[in-house]
Amino acid sequence: MNSLATEVLRLLMVRGETLAVAESLTGGLVAAEITAAPGASKAFRGSVTAYATELKHELLGVDATLLAERGAVDPQVAAQMAAGARKALGADWGIATTGVAGPEPQDGQPVGTVFVAVDGPSQPSFHPAGGGKVLPLRLNGDRAEIRMESVRSVLALLLRELAGEQTGNARAQDTEQNGGF
């Protein structure tokens, strides 16, 4: 999987841009994957692992009413987490993961429900608090498989956004959808 992180970092460095990460269900795995790539410090600003729901609000600025009404496993929460990481860590791009890795459902969502998001310098907003593109996932497998596929998916989403922006081909950003395992 490290080739995804390496390519993301390469594109960020070519562009002179930086990345921040907000993680929930992946618990730091996205940041670990990125920092395993040589030269990561040239583009990676840092990460916030907001595993507890209240930290999503306190550290990342996710709307408290949204969290109270919908819970942490929600596309708008993912979007706001990405925007919050970007703002809190002073990066050009922010990515986020939130979802249910199991073994039990959470917030009324079944195991395997995951939302990954990317927020960047030219992203449209879903909400005044920010948030760019969100990809909903329905993943199969055990807890470890769901978490690792979430890492792969958020990096692939960012890579598509970076590559699509670099080539000016907006259609290329939406051509691949992840079907899980």
Closest listed residue to residue 119, CA positions, set 161, 181, 69: 161
Q: How much is the pTM? A: 0.87
Q: Report pLDDT digits (tens) over 66-119.
A: 999 999 999 999 999 999 999 999 999 999 999 999 999 998 999 999 999 999
Q: Report pLDDT digits (tens) over 17-66.
A: 999 999 999 999 999 999 999 999 999 999 999 999 999 999 999 999 99
Question: Which has more confidence, 1 or 85?
Answer: 85
Span 114-128, average pLDDT: 74
CA distances from 37 to 42, 43, 51 (A): 11, 11, 24
User: What is d(CA 50, CA 166) in angstroms, rounded to the nearest whole number?
Assistant: 31
Peptide bond into 103 cis (omega under 30): yes
The pLDDT of residue 77: 98
Q: Which residue in the block uniquely carries the two structure tokens 């009404």?
A: 69
